[in-house]
Structure 1
Amino acid sequence: MADNAKPWTASMPDTQFQLMHDILAAPSPIGLEAAMTEGVLKPYFEGFAPEGWAVRNFKGHAGVVLDTHPGRDDLFTVMVIGHADKIRMQVRSIGEDGKVWINSDSFLPTTLLGHEVSIFSEDPEAPGEYRRLDGGTVEALGAIHFADPKLRAGEKGVRKEQLYVELQIHGKDKKKQIEALGIRPGDSILMNRPIRRGFGPDTFYGAYLDNGLGCFVSAESARLVAESGGAQNIRMLFAAATYEEIGRFGSRVLVGEMRPDAIIGVDVNHDYVAAPGIGDRRMAPVEMGKGFTMSVGAIVSEQLNRRIEQVARDNDIPMQRDVVGADTGTDGMAGVLGNVDCAATSVGMPIRNMHTISESACTRDVLACTYAVAETLKAMDAEEKQTGVLAEAFRSQHPRLDQARSLGHQGAGDAED
């Protein structure tokens, strides 16, 4: 990459930001992800894919994969995975007073109160057809005047069983008014907050950065590879998986079906520096605005990490190491969970307020992650062209700690100055 071409140091162009907006705004609750995968990502893939590349979809779920070399199982294969499914609330029951009682899924109940939502209801008279109902808000307590003293003082919280959607229904037979709309238990509910640019330089905020951002990085890294004429010597799979929020099931299926040699999972990460109330936990100093993150620990391949880190160094792409312990918590685990032998790691972007309606991030971090992934893929493509033994290198070059060099004290240097 040319020294003067460092997009991660500049503001994201409006056209690219609009693509990110459209990906994140697509209504894709768990089990109903096609609005993002087939409505936004598939047409985008097809718009830039060179001749011979192909988009694959699946029978049991709405995941999609852009494949640079369909059928070439003999090539070293790298899969980049983001997940398209969004945390969704669901209708639990309908009250006589017109309240639509809901579950909170993976949201903290208190973060939902007062926020606008959309209900997606399957037409009872036409199974498979869906309607969208806007204008509702999530409530639990009503007016402060009716709350007990402990709630008013903040000494007591909101239970998930208290949550309902307020549709402003009034008059007679309120429950029947709701039922006449065809709203039923199990209908999906999403927060209605598309992203917009933030107050801080090169920031943005809104709902569902987790994990449309991973799908954005997958798609944009594919475009960068295509525009550079890459993917000549290895097979690349750019994936938008499903079911991550309920156990990373969709990516397991993709990996089981396509059996890549390496996986780069892409997901949001936490800004631990800004996270309130965790100072005494001594978390890794991962911070929004300081570059993409790379997982260290769990099942990650140090060989794959080494290649990513080298690319970041060579191109001056800012990178932060994140300690993940026993589990990356992302689709980077898909290979080991799916019983497929592959090198894997996880990269991402630090965000604030994860699993809320006001998730926040920095566009420079998103671009850093995108270019780090694209440049790593191109470097691996070049490595295969030069050596022809990339697969064997991953098999035979596992780090040997018994061969580690002895390290002594290096001196205080300028520490006393």
Structure 2
Amino acid sequence: MSDTTSPWTLSMPEPQFDLMRRILAAPSPVGLEAAMTYGVLKPRFDSFAPSDWRLHQFKGHAGVVLDTHPGRDDLFKVMLIGHADKIRMQVRSIGEDGKIWINTDSFLPTTLLGHEVKLFSEDPQAPGKYRVIEGGTVEALGAIHFADPEVREGRKGVKKEQMYLDLQIHGENKKQQVENLGVRPGDTLILDRPIRHGFSPDTFYGAYLDNGLGCFVTAEVARLIAQAGGTDKVRMMFAIASYEEIGRFGSRVLAGELKPDAIIAVDVNHDYVAAPGIGDRRMQPLEMGKGFTMSVGAIASEQLNRIIETTAREHGIPMQRDIVGPDTGTDGMAGVLAAVDCVATSIGFPIRNMHTISETGNTRDVLAAIHAITRSVQALDALPDPHREFLDHHPRLDRAGALSHQGGDQPNEEKEEKK
């Protein structure tokens, strides 16, 4: 990693984009995350981790943690967390006509219509062995001709109870044809669309940016730290969590087991500027292509945020402030939920169309997050005593200085931009 370059100002190299594609493509629905953690990320960690680093494994879930200083509880422990689990659909029942009725989980039903999925079926004769069925589509109405007038005119939506998987079953004994495949209630479905380069420069789109991107960033920060020779005062724990989409259950276990002093969650955020129909909500103008985001709110540590923001400014890395209030909505809550005393914040990147098959992001935002986190970790490692830094320097509002009116002149940079 060269201090003379600014990777976040450049297009992502194709080999790096391909790694991101492979991580996001891993079939890792909630509860079945091992395809990403063990199938893609563990081999990736093994390819660059020094011999004295250690991979922590867990019994109750497929989360993993790459630890730079195993056993060194005297060091300042920083846990960087991405989550591997994807929202999924699930088989609810099988109809006599061969329709496979499904639950839609955290998807908006109307965004699923007509899209291809993969169905992962556990072999009834060999529990623990899975088969995949491809080529089915999610449907609800069949055709506009069969819809109620309110639905046809857009005055009424599609209910989640109407959603089913169509495997194009025909002929006699349709239900039996499905059952002969071993498909059963409880089987898992995920969207089938790997990420691709977008039309506009440095953009990409596809399914499950939430949150393969956080895992990709975590892995890339680990690689950069390893290439830079590691850390001395900071014990880094690069965590890939499970169960985030159903309540941050996986990361709280990781935090409870390893007791970090600081947590930095990495997860997708919203492009509020492009989000349709929310102008009257007065959301902060986060925007794709304008840099990574940093959570600011009651649960986010002002001390940790200060180090990240200062580091980003020193290196010219674009950053946006995200207002989160009492809950980051990410694995940044893991320490609080696990009753572990630690500072925490959440780093993200604005994307569009979250929880759809066409989530859209910008590679420069992702690169900005990777390098901002890497340099912030190195800034923490350069402190005389990271423990005392956070114990002794809590913000004191009683020491706030007076601020008077500053007039209406624009900063010079803004003036130049408008010329």
Q: TM-score range by the shorter chain?
A: over 0.9
Task: Verify the 8 A CA contact 2:68 2:230 in the aligned structure 1.
Answer: no
Distance 1:3 1:255, change over 3 A: closer
Matches within 5 A, 1:105-116: 105-116=105-116
Task: Verify the 8 A CA contact 2:261 2:341 in the aligned structure 1.
Answer: yes
Of 389, 395, 402, which residue of structure 1 is paired with 2:398? 402
Aligned partner of residue 38 in structure 1, secondary structure? helix
Q: CA deviation at 1:77?
A: 0.3
Question: Separation in 1 of the partners of 2:356 and 2:4?
Answer: 37
Q: CA deviation at 1:125?
A: 0.3
Aligned partner of residue 8 in structure 1, secondary structure? helix
Which residue is 1:321 aligned to? 321
Which residue is 2:213 aligned to? 213
Task: Verify the 8 A CA contact 1:330 1:346 in the aligned structure 2.
Answer: yes
Normalised to the residue count of structure 1, the TM-score between the two structures is 0.97
* CA-to-aligned-CA distance 1:121-178 (integer Å, 9 cap, x gap): 0000000000000010000000111111111100000000000000000011000000
* CA-to-aligned-CA distance 1:20-60 (integer Å, 9 cap, x gap): 00000000000000000000001100100012011111000
Query: Which residue type is aligned with residue 404 of structure 2?
Result: G
Question: Separation in 2 of the partners of 1:333 and 1:37?
Answer: 21
Of 395, 402, 407, which residue of structure 2 is paired with 1:411? 407
Which residue is 1:8 aligned to? 8
Aligned partner of residue 183 in structure 2, secondary structure? coil
Which residue is 2:287 aligned to? 287
Task: Verify the 8 A CA contact 1:298 1:328 in the aligned structure 2.
Answer: no
Matches within 5 A, 1:6-405: 6-383=6-383, 387=384, 389-405=385-401
Question: Separation in 2 of the partners of 1:56 and 1:267?
Answer: 21
Q: CA deviation at 1:74?
A: 1.4
Q: CA deviation at 1:2?
A: 5.2
Task: Verify the 8 A CA contact 1:230 1:381 in the aligned structure 2.
Answer: no
* CA-to-aligned-CA distance 1:353-373 (integer Å, 9 cap, x gap): 000000000000000001111
Question: Separation in 2 of the partners of 1:266 and 1:37?
Answer: 16
Task: Verify the 8 A CA contact 2:263 2:332 in the aligned structure 1.
Answer: yes
Aligned partner of residue 126 in structure 1, secondary structure? coil
Normalised to the residue count of structure 2, the TM-score between the two structures is 0.97
Task: Verify the 8 A CA contact 1:218 1:266 in the aligned structure 2.
Answer: yes
Backbone CA RMSD of aligned residues: 1.1
Q: CA deviation at 1:231?
A: 1.4
Question: Separation in 1 of the partners of 2:165 and 2:79?
Answer: 40
Choose 402-411 or 354-363, whichever is displaced more.
402-411
State how many pairs are aligned: 412
Query: Which residue type is aligned with residue 403 of structure 1?
Result: R
Task: Verify the 8 A CA contact 2:305 2:345 in the aligned structure 1.
Answer: yes
Q: CA deviation at 1:412?
A: 2.8
Gaps of 5+ in 2: none
Aligned partner of residue 405 in structure 2, secondary structure? coil
Task: Verify the 8 A CA contact 2:290 2:318 in the aligned structure 1.
Answer: yes
Query: Which residue type is aligned with residue 328 of structure 1?
Result: T
Question: Separation in 1 of the partners of 2:123 and 2:281?
Answer: 49
Q: Quote the sequence identity (%).
A: 72
Question: Separation in 1 of the partners of 2:32 and 2:349?
Answer: 25
Task: Verify the 8 A CA contact 2:353 2:360 in the aligned structure 1.
Answer: yes
Gaps of 5+ in 1: none
Q: CA deviation at 1:414?
A: 5.5
Q: CA deviation at 1:312?
A: 0.2
Aligned partner of residue 310 in structure 2, secondary structure? helix
Question: Separation in 2 of the partners of 1:146 and 1:411?
Answer: 63
Task: Verify the 8 A CA contact 1:332 1:346 in the aligned structure 2.
Answer: yes
Q: CA deviation at 1:413?
A: 2.8
Aligned partner of residue 350 in structure 1, secondary structure? strand
Question: Separation in 2 of the partners of 1:229 and 1:372?
Answer: 18
Question: Separation in 2 of the partners of 1:129 and 1:70?
Answer: 34
Question: Separation in 2 of the partners of 1:411 and 1:276?
Answer: 35
Question: Separation in 2 of the partners of 1:414 and 1:55?
Answer: 51
Query: Which residue type is aligned with residue 296 of structure 1?
Result: V
Question: Separation in 2 of the partners of 1:347 and 1:114?
Answer: 34
Task: Verify the 8 A CA contact 1:230 1:378 in the aligned structure 2.
Answer: no
Q: CA deviation at 1:298?
A: 2.9
Question: Separation in 1 of the partners of 2:347 and 2:145?
Answer: 47
Q: CA deviation at 1:232?
A: 2.1
Q: CA deviation at 1:411?
A: 2.2
Aligned partner of residue 380 in structure 1, secondary structure? helix
Task: Verify the 8 A CA contact 2:351 2:361 in the aligned structure 1.
Answer: yes
Task: Verify the 8 A CA contact 2:92 2:185 in the aligned structure 1.
Answer: yes
Where in structure 1 do 4 or more consecutive aligned residues deviate above 4 Å? none
Q: CA deviation at 1:395?
A: 1.0
Question: Separation in 2 of the partners of 1:394 and 1:298?
Answer: 16
* CA-to-aligned-CA distance 1:177-217 (integer Å, 9 cap, x gap): 00000000000100000000000100000000000000000
